Amino acid sequence: MFADLHLHTHFSDGTYSPEELAGHARRHELSVVALTDHDTVDGCPRMATACLAEGIELIPAIEITSELDGHELHILGYGVESTHTGLLAELARFQRIRQDRIRDIVLRLQKLNLPITSDAVFELANCNSPGRPHVARALIQAGVCKNLDEAFERFLKRHRPGWVPKARIHAEDAIRLIHEAGGAAVIAHPALNRCGHLIPDLARYGIDGIECFHSKHSPADSEHFEEMANRLGLLVTGGSDCHGMNKGQPLIGGVKLPLGLVEKLRDRMSRHRLAARSCEELKPAVC
């Protein structure tokens, strides 16, 4: 049995429901999964119920978009308490930023006379944490584009007319937020974001691990980051980053993490959970 520690549902920009995702996980013989929706933990309670029904263990988690030195980097937070008030307040702020960005993107597209409205995007997204893939789907629905790739290539990626930069929190703040909410922080797909050179800085900020195994990592990438994790004393994790049917074949099942690595992550999660709890109890005297 194996784990997949990077999965999305329609609570952010995936296409699967929690129930569908848990079903696929069981069929791929995964015994542990983590739900890592972007900037939201809204899907975690339903995913917990769905995983229980399939006999799978769930690690509630999150993927936070952050920045360091002008680079976008994604930080995974494993085992965060999904009712933590500080975390929920920050996530609500990130979600407002995402929604405002959608309105800005749509305004730009409307200036090109494209038949698209932000209401149509929000209705289609039907979640608090919408992103560009939802705009892409709205463009397909309106008959402007044939597929997601065309929508990104013509309108949505950097240097295209619909591009709007996204406000992001500093990586150090993202790591602190995850720790305060009792989770362990892991840098997601460093090869994909070309941010490997920033990992020593992230280690100084307290990052717990590196996502070495990922659908977009080559075997050489994985080996390189495993070596780096060992050298810096960081945990090794991995996941498929499956978004459902977004890009043809679903990615779930493509990355199978040995359970021994999950155990090490769990130990670290327990330590952060304990530290966060005692910190909450001692407030405001010490923390």
What is the size of the binding site for ligand AMP (CB under 6 A)? 10
Pairing of strands 2-7, 57-68: unpaired
Out of 10, 24, 74, 134, which residue is the one contacting Fe ion (CB under 5 A)? 74
Q: How far apart are the first and last CA of the chain?
A: 40
**DSSP state for residue 235 in the 8-state scheme:** E
Distance CA 30, CA 264 (A): 18
Q: Residues near 25 by Cβ (< 8 Å), separated by ≥ 6?
A: 4, 7, 33, 51, 54, 56, 252
Cis bond before residue 258 (omega within 30° of 0) = no
Closest residue by Cα to residue 185 from 280, 66, 31, 56: 66
CB 74 → Fe ion: shortest distance, Å? 4
Residue 62 buriedness (CB in 10 A; 0-12 / 13-18 / 19+)? buried
- Binding at 152: pick from ligand AMP, Zn ion, Fe ion, none (beta carbon under 5-8 Å per type): ligand AMP
241 lies in the binding site for Fe ion (CB under 5 A):
yes
4 lies in the binding site for Fe ion (CB under 5 A):
no
Distance CA 4, CA 193 (A): 20
Residues 177-216 that bind ligand AMP (CB under 6 A): none
Lookup: tokens for 149 = 């790739």
131 lies in the binding site for ligand AMP (CB under 6 A):
yes
Distance CA 142, CA 120 (A): 10
Residues 9-48 that bind Zn ion (CB under 5 A): 13
- Binding at 74: pick from Fe ion, ligand AMP, Zn ion, none (beta carbon under 5-8 Å per type): Fe ion
- Angle made by CA atoms 217, 190, 219, in degrees to the nearest 5: 25
Number of residue whose CB is nearest Zn ion: 13
CB 219 → ligand AMP: shortest distance, Å? 22
Lookup: tokens for 245 = 């049917």
CB nearer ligand AMP, residue 8 or residue 272: 8
Q: Mind giving me the DSSP string for 19-52?
A: HHHHHHHHHTTEEEEEE--BT--TTHHHHHHHHH
CB nearer ligand AMP, residue 131 or residue 250: 131
13 lies in the binding site for ligand AMP (CB under 6 A):
yes
- Binding at 166: pick from Zn ion, ligand AMP, Fe ion, none (beta carbon under 5-8 Å per type): ligand AMP
Lookup: tokens for 60 = 């509630």
- Binding at 244: pick from Zn ion, Fe ion, ligand AMP, none (beta carbon under 5-8 Å per type): none
Lookup: tokens for 127 = 């979640």
Out of 46, 103, 108, 247, which residue is the one contacting ligand AMP (CB under 6 A)? 247
CB 241 → ligand AMP: shortest distance, Å? 8
Out of 11, 152, 205, 225, which residue is the one contacting ligand AMP (CB under 6 A)? 152
Residues 158-217 that bind Zn ion (CB under 5 A): none
CB 161 → Fe ion: shortest distance, Å? 24
* Residue appearing with tokens 């933990």: 41
37 lies in the binding site for Fe ion (CB under 5 A):
no
CB 211 → ligand AMP: shortest distance, Å? 15
Out of 91, 148, 178, 195, which residue is the one contacting ligand AMP (CB under 6 A)? 148
Could you list the residues that contact ligand AMP (CB under 6 A)?
13, 131-133, 148-149, 152, 166, 246-247
